[in-house]
Structure 1
């Protein structure tokens, strides 16, 4: 399985306006796991030129605000008819291989850049979109790093990235002031912070791993990078190291130190549910993506801040998660030209800005032609956060595959329930991972 090594400098180079502007976007973007979604027909009066019938866009953006934002963006599309099908994220993830391999697949689909897209491309399931990255194509001005993330193993482009975001430990500034605490820079200081908060009767860490078990991978990704480094992390997810190795055991040794500080109710929460204790100041911190702002009440958003996952080994390069979201098209699409026309529209600066603003997210645009100077202080801090890191990763499944993510979901939720059973958990995880890599 191919992985892409991207340094902070390489990722941000060529995106003149991210830092200026954007380049990049754990695991979700804007999707939900508890909304079965529906079908919205956002159509104009013209039909695609290459085939009759509307272009079908299959979307995992089922949270109300991102869903409404995408519908609004599509209302401005004038090149043809579009049918938008919205499916809850976990159902979507499970059905995506079926969507793509169908004899009559959706034409355009939301998903992720990087390894997960390359994996589908290697099976011949994705449409070649290289023409959108050439000449005056909609993605031609995107950074070289984005081009790399959007390329298949054979060098063709198979993805259109439209937004990215960062991960961090989010908290309420007013709550920290009330509790007399400050963000931690080192791991020892972080553990001491958690102990202090717990003694004050505050749950230190929120986490929603009920219907969204992938959230547990956020801590695994970061602790692996902090203990073993980003290079080892990427190699592990590519099958070059074993999950029952001493290195991974060391990661779970550190993970075990925070398990007593995690809200036990989180095992029945979705990631969205786990935001509520943070907002209500019942829990202090939440390691999650910047999409958290979609579920924070508008009156509280300005009180949200974040800090990086503390350093454990200062000799290692500092890695940060910055997953990239967007769209690909099915190779078996009966309307390939209509699909490319829609993708070109979704990649346009105005479309990106409209989606970000109306979705209420803290995501950043990938187009260098979007002006980010008016973005909120939180987003400006997110930009600086990524500029100051050494290396960029995506997220567990994006740096590996959706199939490997399932093994992580099983292993890490077992670990949260019984951290003392770590040896058996890691042995079972490695066996499951081998079946994925050999499959």
Structure 2
């Protein structure tokens, strides 16, 4: 299989941009080539598949279109079960333990996020599937676990950094910062003009997004291996101290505003619409999936979260459709995956969706204007999402320690903050 070379490249941590951008404006000739099914599917009928996912992620437009299209074309039924984020892992663990019935298909993120679910024993191996060679390099990097392709990425591919209000930047004659110091200077200028520099939904702990600088840190294979093998911890990485101190400094200087602890995901739209905030750590496709204002009024620049000096962009985290290989309806589940992976179907459901392609033959989706405007900058400072996928025991929720440090005044040091984060990671590893 050709895929073996591609998987090898992903496992060698080759950082490529071919799956994360470029001008994917509609190519009518390419679309015409996919006016009929490219793979074999649809021979199984009269089945009902149970699919679990995190609420409300199963309600994304391209997913609901795909589900409806599958029902229409095959006559099969899909039972979509949405589980609150805070309950999802425990529900899956209970199913793996045999305490409750397992779903036929799971929509989850890959990498170490699924380690506790024992993928080798429970998940179907798609390494030799017909569609694997159609995945972009970035997509392959998201699907590999223990050298195997464990699921189909069927998601929007975003680029994360700092969204910024162009009108505010133009009004105060602000340039895109090129260093951490320049970013801080921009924040101070904005604050002096009565603008809160950065909206931080601190109540939604995962939105602290401390993995952005960590992607840079674990580019060093010795650091990643040290964390995973136990010879290193967060508290033994000097640059992690810079990250923790960045959050504390931003809070103490007022650059997050006064309400960041109670601000949440639901307030992001209002904040970016209000003109009271200039920036927000986020991903470009959010402007087209959740934002109700004028997306053209925003650009994207690097995330300046302490390190690296020049800031960083993060590639996408892709949801994977993963099949329970022990399902009584395995043939039907595999048929559904092949349906989703067919260019005939994914181009239909992603038509007009703002996203970089997940598949090489994905021609009907379009890049965000924000990506196109910042393409060269992104190419210089782009990193695959590595920390979130590859650090064993990693959790976005460990940012709770950073929040506590931000509020602790002189009562806690950055070193103690990182010790607490590392303790949470180690406790999580004990349970796996």
Q: Same fold (TM over 0.5)?
A: yes
Q: 2:31 aligns to what?
A: none
- The reply on whether 1:274 has 2:268 as its aligned counterpart is yes
Q: Kindly report which structure 2 residues correspond to 1:318-333, keeping only aligned pairs within 5 A, or say none.
A: 320-333=314-327
Asked if residue 306 in structure 1 is aligned to residue 313 in structure 2, the reply is no
2:65 is aligned with 1:72: yes
3-state SS of the aligned residue for 2:322? strand
Paired position in structure 2 for 1:296: 291
Structure 2 Cα separation of the partners of residues 5 and 282 of structure 1: 44
Verify: 1:367 aligned to 2:362, yes or no. Answer: no
Give 1:124 shift: 2.0
Q: Does 1:151 align with 2:144?
A: yes
Q: Which moved further from structure 2: 232-241 or 123-132? A: 232-241
Matched residue, 1:34: none
Local SS of the residue matching 1:265: coil
User: Residues of 2 paired with 1:379 and 1:394: CA distance?
Assistant: 20
2:421 & 2:245 partners in 1: Cα distance?
16
| 1:376-410 Cα distance to aligned partner (Å, 9 max, x none) | 422434665554346422453x3335x53166133
SS in 2 for 1:230: coil
* Cα distance change of structure 1 residues 87 and 373 upon mapping to structure 2, 3 Å threshold: closer
Give the equivalent residue in structure 2 for 1:31. Answer: none
1:373–1:75 CA distance, 2 compared to 1 (3 A): closer
* Partner Cα distance (1:95, 1:383) in 2: 40
For residues 145 and 246 of structure 1, the distance between their equivalents in structure 2, rounded to whole angstroms, comes to 27
- 2:405 counterpart of 1:400: no
Aligned counterpart, 1:116: 113
1:380 aligns with one of 331, 348, 372: 372
Equivalent residue pairs, number: 393
> 1:329 offset after TM fit, Å?
1.6
* TM alignment of 1:152-231, pairs within 5 A: 152-153=145-146, 155-163=147-155, 164-210=157-203, 212-216=204-208, 218=209, 220-224=210-214, 228=217, 230-231=219-220
Deviation (angstroms), 1:111: 1.5
Of 339, 344, 347 in structure 1, the residue corresponding to residue 341 of structure 2 is: 347
Among 80, 85, 99, the residue aligned to 2:81: 85
Structure 1: distance between partners of 2:430 and 2:106: 27
**Contact 1:48–1:54 under 8 Å retained in 2:** no
CA deviation string 1:231-290 (max 9, x = no partner): 266446535521222512233223322223113423223324233212211111101123
Tell me the residue number matched to 2:36. Answer: none
User: Where do 5+ consecutive residues of structure 1 fail to align?
Assistant: 23-45
Counterpart position of 1:37: none
- Distance apart, 1:168 and its partner CA: 0.8
Give the superposed CA RMSD.
3.4
- Output the CA distance in 2 between the equivalents of 1:276 and 1:318: 26
Contact 1:160 1:343 in 2 (8 A): yes
TM-score (norm: length of structure 2): 0.78
Asked if 1:255 is matched to 2:247, the reply is: yes
CA 165–61 in structure 1, closer or farther in 2 if over 3 Å, else same: farther
* Closer/same/farther in 2, CA of residues 314 and 82 from structure 1, 3 Å limit: closer
Verify the 8 A CA contact 1:127 1:328 in the aligned structure 2.
Answer: yes
- Structure 2: distance between partners of 1:68 and 1:316: 35
Pairwise mapping of residues 31-46 of structure 1 onto structure 2 (< 5 A)?
A: none
Q: Which residue in 2 is equivalent to 1:286?
A: 280
Q: Which runs of 5+ in 2 are unaligned?
A: 1-9, 26-41
Q: How much has 1:160 moved relative to structure 2?
A: 0.8
Match of 2:403 in 1: 413
**TM-aligned CA distance change 1:353 to 1:434, over 3 Å:** same
State how far apart, in whole Å, the 1-side matches of 2:365 and 2:49 are.
Answer: 35
Match of 1:423 among 401, 411, 415: 415
Task: Measure, in 2, the Cα distance between the counterparts of 1:159 and 1:202.
Answer: 44
SS in 2 for 1:428: helix
Offset, 1:344? 1.8
Distance 2:169 2:386 in 1: 29
